[in-house]
Structure 1
Amino acid sequence: SIARDLSAYSAPPDRNIEAIVLEDLISSYQFRDDIEWLYVLPCIDPSGRPVPDLLRSRFPRARSFIPFEVQDLCWDKTATQKRLLDRGVPTPETLLTHDPEDVEHFVKRHTYAILKEPRGCAGTGHWVLWFEDSTLMADNGWAAHPLRFVGDGPSRIVGDELYYAPPYYVQRLVGTFRRTGFEIGQVLRAYVVESEVPFWGERYREHYRRPGDWILNVARGARYRFALSVSEETKNTALRAARAVGARVAAVDLVRTSASGPLVLEVNVDSYHMCIDRSFKDLPEFRDYYDFDRHVAHALLRTEETTGVRTLRPARPRQRQRRRRHP
């Protein structure tokens, strides 16, 4: 697990990373005032209480390495998009609307677009949109459906049709139109740790058989490989995106073509909502250099050094210095 991999990089005796199961604290009514920093991974409170409130109550002295407001911001894709635009970070042309006609005009203008759920991860709720004759179609990689706009309710399949209610979050599908058809842009992921990008990943497919295959996510069948050469412009764009949302640790997804980009698709962080995918650890070419958890753990331990904090140890009472009396 991620927690186990992080804790493996502890530096005993005085700098430890401890994997704590939240359910154990809840069931035993424990409070941990010996912990100064938290690195939060997906968890829930069975009682329905907001997780940040629960963690603040159980760890009264602890600060979250990735602040809770940053975790919430990156979980909300539309809020992230607005933040990136406000900070001047380049992104694909994006539409946020409640009007179905706006969506139709957007797709006609760009030929292909991606309809995204406002919240989610791993490509969940992503649909590639295009017009087939006069019918607006949606494909998620498994099936294609005529898209029907409805007033409310969750997105759902009714018969052969996809029913979809507002709000509508749509982005231009970035790629190149060639004689042989549409070619998706290169999708890169920057693994950002403390204003550095120790390594890059690329998502791709060997074959593209349908529009939904342009959703390049490992959970949807795409593959990983490490990208060894990335331009300085791409690196700077990824770092700007991480700074824009306030993330010290992040996975920034970007897309580029020979004619445009790099453009930021989204910024992901480890949080109580979700976690950054680590399945690249299964690649044959995986080495310690590509161990994201090693880089994160070292950042956590460096934070202790620079702030004078020693996590997972009781705080020592401060001793008052006696003033010397001069004769």
Structure 2
Amino acid sequence: MGMEGIELRESRSLSPRDMILHKLEDLDDDGKPKRTGTMWTASAHIITAVIGSGVLSLAWAMSQLGWVAGPVTLVLFSIITFFTSSLLTDCYRTSDPISGKRNYTYNDAVKSILGGTQVWMCGLCQYVNLCGVAIGYTITASISAAAISKSNCYHRKGHKADCNVSDSFYMIGFGIIQFFLSQLPNFHDLWWLSIVAAVMSFAYSGIAVGLSFARVISGNTGKTSLTGQEVGVDITSAQKIWETFQALGDIAFAYSYSIILIEIQDTLKSPPAENKVMKKASFIGVSTTTIFYILSGCLGYAAFGNHSPGNILTGFGFYEPYWLVDLANFCIIVHLVGAYQVNCLS
């Protein structure tokens, strides 16, 4: 007799009451299938959401802020991110952190706690932010794809060759890929999706850090200063003010993941209480992210100085080894494909 026959015979031997209890054991307190997430899977989700291609622009942000304000700003934003995310974890359940009603999304939490017109305002802000994230992912992925083509062209024809490539074709390709992936049932819920995306994040961030470190060791570095680009030498005072605020915005955006924090928390099994586990996961995720951000920003700034490119991998601060630059940009594309599914379609 096959396994199906054995399972069928066992199910027939159970009383209706036992069968109901057996099914209830597979459900959580809200009637949904039991959640299986842990602190480590939540940490992987957070790292996937936080460490994005924005890490590659931190060298440019450092070149605007300098050696004093740059690292201080990175640490300050990490503290703010962890503090605010810790507050948000306590909003997952209403009234009681163990048995209270679950809020499945950020908007549900706003509706449950604040209510009124603030729900509409929150929804509007979320959708505007979501559109911006989706556009940003599409543009960044297409730029990385075009950078692979440019890198191979520069390797064959020389660094001064005309290797301009249109990003439009790659934007269309990214959209087609997302269209097909979005048709797969619960693709964004696959447990390995964030693991793969997190590995890709570490890969291209590590490559950028390694290449910057190698350039620093070689001695082929740019001029740096305590205050970043110098007024009257590198830029005007008006440009300094504008680009300083832009650098602060880049760093703030690089740390943002509150839009999906509660959705990540909703994947955690209980007990222990979800808010306690999520706080630990947030600490691991934000701490890991901050280490990579400081390494990438500081080493990138040390390598290129006050004239750091906006993106050290696609701005061609590095030409060789071209295959390693190609690998890093490929990892960016894979990461953004997964991150788009998690952030925009979950």
The TM-score range, normalised by the shorter chain, is under 0.3
Q: TM-score when scaled to structure 2?
A: 0.23
Greater percentage in strand: 1
Report the structure, 1 or 2, having the larger helix content.
2
